[in-house]
A and B are shown apart, each in its own frame.
Chain A
Amino acid sequence: MTRKRFEPKIVAFTCNWCSYGGADLAGISRIQHPPNAKVIRLMCSGRVDPVMVIEAFKGGADGVMVTGCHPGDCHYATGNYRTQVRFDALQMAMKTMGLHPDRLKLLWASASEGQQWAEGITEMTESIRLLGPSPLKAGGAGK
């Protein structure tokens, strides 16, 4: 096997209730999608400290996804509203960090949305593949 193609490394934060369940459902339903996203399970998307996202990029991630329950459906009532606020702030900081804003994505997926999960991962992988490796890591030449 002599493949040489850029496989993006994506760190995907999920909440325990909705998006992790959505990822599980994608599995139970055998909905195939690229293997690039590595899931980190937290209790709520509201736990995602902006520092964690920045650490991921600093550590060499080509893309970061923050995923959780749909607004209004948060298991913790309001946690994901904060997620949205933090995401917006982070999105503004992306350029400052020298990163293309598409490298950071927010995905709302409920535990019944396996299809949406798989589609979200596929789209993210494809868009990062086009952007190339993150400029923040050694050898990274992308945008």
Chain B
Amino acid sequence: MSEPELRVGVFICHCGLNIAGTVDCERVAKYALNLPDVAYAVDLLFACSDDGQENIKQAIREYSLNRVVVASCTPRTHEPVFRACVEEAGLNRYLYDQVNLREHVSWVHMDDHDLATMKAEELIAMAVERVKYLEPLERKAVDVIQSAAVIGGGVAGISAALDLANAGFETHLIESRPTIGGQMALLDKVFPQNDCAICILGPIMSKVGQHPKINLMTYSELDSVDGYVGNFRLKVRKKSPYINYDKCNGCGDCEKACPVSVKNDYEFGLATRRAAYRPFPQAVPNKYTIDKRGTSACKIACPAHVNVQAFIILLKEERFDEALEIYRKSSPFAGTLGRVCTNPCQLECERGKYDESVSIRNLHRFLADYEREAGEIKIDPIVPNKKKAKKPIAIVGAGPAGLACAYDLVREGYSVTVFEARKKAGGLLRYGIPEYRLPRDILDDEIGIIKKLGVTIKTGSKIESIEELRSQGFKAIFVGTGAPGSRKMNIKGENAKGVHHALAFLDKVNSGKTVEIGRNVAVIGGGNAAIDAARTARRLGAKKVTIVYRRSREEMPAISSEIDAAEEEGVKIALLANPVEVIEKNKQVSGMKCVRMKLGKPDDTGRRRPIPIPDSEFKMSVDNVIIAIGQEVTADALLTQLEPTMWGSLEVNPVTLQTNMKGVFGGGAVVLGGGGTVVEAVAAGKEAAKSIDRYLKDEDLLEGREEYLKPIENIEIDGSIKMSYAPVMRTLSKSKRTTSFGEVELGFKEAVALAEAERCLSCGVCCECEKCVEACKLEAVDHSLQDEIVELNIGTIIVATGFKVHDPIETREFGYGTFENVITNAQLERLTNAAGPTQGKPYRPSDHTVPKRVAFVQCVGSRDRRFNQDYCCYIGCENSLKQAIQIKEKYPKTEVTVYAMDIRTHGLGYEGLYRRAREKGVVVVKGRPSEIEEDPETKSLVVLAEDLYTGARLETTTDLVVLATALLPNDNTAELARKLKVSTGEYGFLMEAHPKLRPVDSFQDGVFLAGAVLGPMDIPKAVAYGKGAAAGAQALMAPGVFYVEPIYAEIDTERCFDCDLCTDLCPYFAITGTGEERRVMFELCQGCGTCAAACPKNAIDMRHYRKQQIIPQILAAASVRGELIP
């Protein structure tokens, strides 16, 4: 160091009595003067006052001080003040250090003046040690981009944006909702003048919409922030409104066509809205938005991706034809699958996580049944596409896969011929599934749909080879020949007379052949075929039917309602047993030897593996054994030239379903080897249809094929949904069930179906029924629009994301959510609003009458320690008084009582509001109600309270109770704070840099805070904050440069050995290059020092926080005087 001599000056501030009341400042000053290198020390009454600063400056000059320590309050507020003071005296501003005697000493050690004074001395000794090693530094100037972003378009954000824009700064206003206006736009009247909220806000909103300097980004959210003061880079996600705003004229035709109805947050749940909606008539921009949360879990789970939510919603709206039309976009089998589907959709149904899944399968069955009952199925043939029809397609096998493939292709305009070896089309649906589950007229009708569309089905024509079809001119072929073979058990006696294999058995019965069945039948297996065989055997006259299954009931793959139905019909189920031998008598079955099983560890399928228990054999005497342990592909199901897998099924590409031969595709049971379900076969047929279409168009089979169905992330089920369960379907009487093949399940009646549809949560909100597409004359609706990420380069950020109102539904306070006539003040605001759900009539929800008695309960959720919400909501009292006056003005005879701990009407004008309310006869009771009870008949409420002034216990009946609820931080405030690197306070609101003097600044340079994101405030205050933040941002941007603290890392490349640890650790990617080129980009470096602490070679050091500056301070802290205090 070239400096000649260290001369430290120490200034100890009394801060009036704040410090001096506890710390003996004079003694501290004397102590400091004795420290080495201290040339001057003095105590001052107020160091930060003009006088105090003048004293410091004079001392610096007089005593030639070259280092300064001020021991006063927190450097978080006063460091800049004293640095400036030091600088004015001609000393470099970084040759200064501050000791915090107030927050860290005098205010926290008030009870021991001696120890506090001693600690003050020690802290000063530490600072003196540190200050000796400080070096002069120069602040770096960075250019400031002359543009700002305002996050949040409520009244605070709007005010900020307008001021910035009017001052000439490019301003981006980012709002997460589809309109600006925030909470104020939802209010009816604003106190104390009680003028109309939207009337005064509306014009300002439209000014924002039209301002040439404001880039309004509604329905947009902040994705990420990087950069630094003056040079922030924001990534903003513009959520897709699925409507082209350039074309939309706000006519609302889409809203009228939309069948979805969901809770309307803009009406605080008092009304519903459509998925295509505009929040309110004065919305800016005046455009519609489609609220689409993703694809519902049911649709994703359905292998055929049937648009479940759409058909259920249209069903709910009694638009049955349209609902069925939606179903038939995916598959022709609404009635068939409505009976036999294993409904994977219902397993994923969100409602199932709450109470019970919606009976999706029964609902599409209802649609099909309804249509049949109403008359014939209305299907118009498809007009073939001339170009496509030149490339005919052959489908081998008229099972569910082949038919589904044909159905999709014919609707694309292709010419399709289906070849079926059997006498009738339907495959397993006809020859496998018994009639009592699937009446054949239903199946025939739905196969009829495919025929009506123009598909040729040639039954009784067996295809042997691909060549055969190619020679007939077919350009593409789908093989869906199924798996008609039954798997063998390979046990002794399996070939005896009286042993059947399930598929062959069902085939015979379903083809109308006679099958002899004895009195006593055993069915082996736990799948649907086993249940079908057992129930069929009962119908053929077997008296005792026993299903023998080797695992437990939980593992049975059959549809559980089918198992129940079998048991209802008298079928017994023997679990954890497995046959080892069929006992023969004269080549005829006489019994079965079985072994008992236990369950071991789960196998690949996740089911527990059955293990035989040694020496547990037992005999059953039976007349017939039906083996139903699975299907397999028979040799003739594979056409010649096609390659099988090692298991004998058809080998196909898992994505394109193409076989080893180009243009030949396969799907369904022939590929799955018999393990799949009907809906999986349908899905495979559809997938193959997609491939065939691509193949015939000469397109790549793979490219861009995977359609990503985005699952819904946040599904809100609030307490307002009442628990309910799916209805039980009517069934055929038990006596008829064992004697006939009449259909067992009788379907839903219309009223039941409507009620069941009502249970759908509409979790995707938009169901993609595309009714809006049809309705929009301007062709503005586009369901393929994607979210867009917009990058903004800006100089300053103003955060004005506001608050949320406390929803007492979770705590059910005062019966809210249980008693209909207990509402919140936000809801009342909507009720009194002419644009609200009741056109301004404050009707009580239960009977839509004007209440004759209204009670307001104040501080619901506010000033409440139970929820860590012990702060005042700031507006509740005035708001209730305003609402009380409104009611009194409209209905002077209505009695209004306000129950409050205190009425707080602060500031100008608000006391007048209180007086006006009382003059109009509003009664204020001091005291919070202890309880509210409902009269179940009248739905009126009894308020139990104590009047704290008179001590009287009150029990008052009232018609409507209004809860004045708390204001809370928004749900995303914490996440936003993290992105912006600003702090949140105790209650989760954002925290200002200083509660008194820097109310709109954050600790992050260039980030300003405005409005209720800081805590509850009323409108004028929010506006003032908005304007204040705008002024702060302008003051920062206007000079064009900003001086950043010169606290950043430095690298000594001579020491560096290129381990790259610093590069990896730096959160700002500020360290670049290698070897001699390695350097720190100071604009990016924020000065955290993580790199310096990590550097194994001590090659990095932090300016102003150098190791040789910190360590002396540490040593001073550790060693000052002895630890034994005399």
Contact = CB atoms under 8 A, between A and B. Distances in A.
Interface of A: 1-9, 11, 16-18, 20-21, 23-24, 26-28, 30-35, 38-44, 46-52, 55-57, 59-62, 72-73, 75-79, 82, 86, 110-113, 118, 133
Considering the complex of A and B, which 3 residue pairs feature the smallest CB-CB distances, nearest first?
A27-B103, A47-B1089, A46-B1090
Interface string B1072-1103: 00000000000000111110111000000010
B898 to A, nearest CB: 33
Contacts of B75: 41
Given A40-B1117, A73-B978, A82 B126 contact: no
B1126 interface: yes
A126 B102 CA distance: 23
Given A3-B1126, A41-B75, A52-B1111, A76 B1086 contact: yes
B122 interface: yes
Contacts of B119: 35, 38
A30 to B, nearest CB: 5
Contact of A76 (B76, B112, B983, B1090): B1090
8 contacts: A7-B1125, A31-B108, A38-B126, A47-B1093, A48-B1093, A59-B1119, A82-B1093, A112-B986
Nearest to A2: B1126
B80 to A, nearest CB: 13
A51 B75 CA distance: 26
Contacts, number: 175
B1090 A79 contact: yes
Nearest to B103: A27
A133 to B, nearest CB: 6
A77 B1084 CA distance: 14
Give the interface centre of A3, A26, A35, A110 by most chain B CB atoms within 10 Å.
A35
Nearest to A8: B1123
Contacts of A28: 103, 107
A76 B1085 CA distance: 10
A17 B1105 CA distance: 15
Contacts of B1089: 42-44, 46-47, 79
A142 to B, nearest CB: 10
B593 interface: no
A13 to B, nearest CB: 9
B1117 A1 contact: no
Contacts of A75: 981, 1003, 1088
Interface in B40-85: 74-76
B382 to A, nearest CB: 57
B527 to A, nearest CB: 49
A118 B108 contact: yes
B793 interface: no
B111 interface: yes
A47 B1105 contact: yes
A47 B108 contact: no
Interface string B114-139: 11101100110010000000000000
Contacts of B114: 1
Contacts of A73: 978
A8 to B, nearest CB: 7
A32 B1114 contact: no
Contact of B1114 (A27, A56, A118): A56
B902 to A, nearest CB: 23
Nearest to B120: A35
Contact of A9 (B981, B1090, B1118): B1118
A27 B115 contact: no
A40 B1003 contact: no
Contact of B1107 (A2, A17, A49, A78): A49
Given A32-B109, A82-B1093, A43 B1088 contact: yes
B834 interface: no
A39 B1117 CA distance: 9
B1124 interface: yes
A24 B110 contact: no
Contacts of A35: 105, 108-109, 112, 115-116, 118-119
Contact of A40 (B981, B1047, B1102, B1113): B1113
B981 A55 contact: no
Nearest to B116: A35
Interface in B90-117: 100, 102-105, 107-112, 114-116
Contacts of B1107: 49, 51-52
A4 B985 CA distance: 41
Given A5-B1125, A43-B1105, A59-B1118, A112 B983 contact: yes
A133 B991 contact: no
Interface in B600-646: none
B655 interface: no
Contacts of B112: 35
Given A3-B1125, A20-B76, A38-B122, 17 more contacts: A4-B1124, A4-B1126, A7-B115, A11-B1118, A17-B1003, A32-B110, A35-B105, A35-B115, A38-B126, A39-B100, A40-B1113, A47-B1089, A59-B1117, A59-B1118, A76-B981, A76-B1067, A111-B983
Nearest to B115: A35
B108 A112 contact: no
Contact of B108 (A27, A42, A52, A62): A27
A76 B103 contact: no
A46 B1093 contact: yes
B469 interface: no
A103 B1119 CA distance: 16
A8 B547 CA distance: 78
A110 B983 contact: yes
A73 B991 CA distance: 14
B17 interface: no
A111 B991 contact: yes
Contacts of A118: 108
B1110 interface: yes
Contact of A112 (B100, B985, B1065, B1115): B985
B76 A24 contact: yes
Contacts of B103: 23-24, 26-28
Nearest to A6: B1123
Nearest to A27: B103
B1114 A79 contact: no
Contacts of B985: 111-112
A61 B76 CA distance: 26
A3 B984 CA distance: 43
A47 B1111 contact: no
Interface in B170-228: none
A26 B109 CA distance: 11
Nearest to A114: B986
Contacts of A51: 1107
A85 B991 CA distance: 29
Contact of A82 (B102, B118, B1065): B1065
Nearest to A82: B1090
Interface in B827-873: none
Interface in B887-901: none
B108 A26 contact: yes
B76 to A, nearest CB: 6
Nearest to B226: A77
A20 B1092 CA distance: 21
A42 B984 contact: no
A67 to B, nearest CB: 13
A56 B1110 CA distance: 11
A35 B119 CA distance: 7
A32 B1047 contact: no
A84 to B, nearest CB: 12
Contacts of B1092: 47, 49
Nearest to A62: B1123
Nearest to B986: A112
Contacts of A11: 1114, 1117-1118
A20 B107 CA distance: 15
Nearest to A20: B76
A133 B672 CA distance: 75
A74 to B, nearest CB: 8
Interface string B650-682: 000000000000000000000000000000000
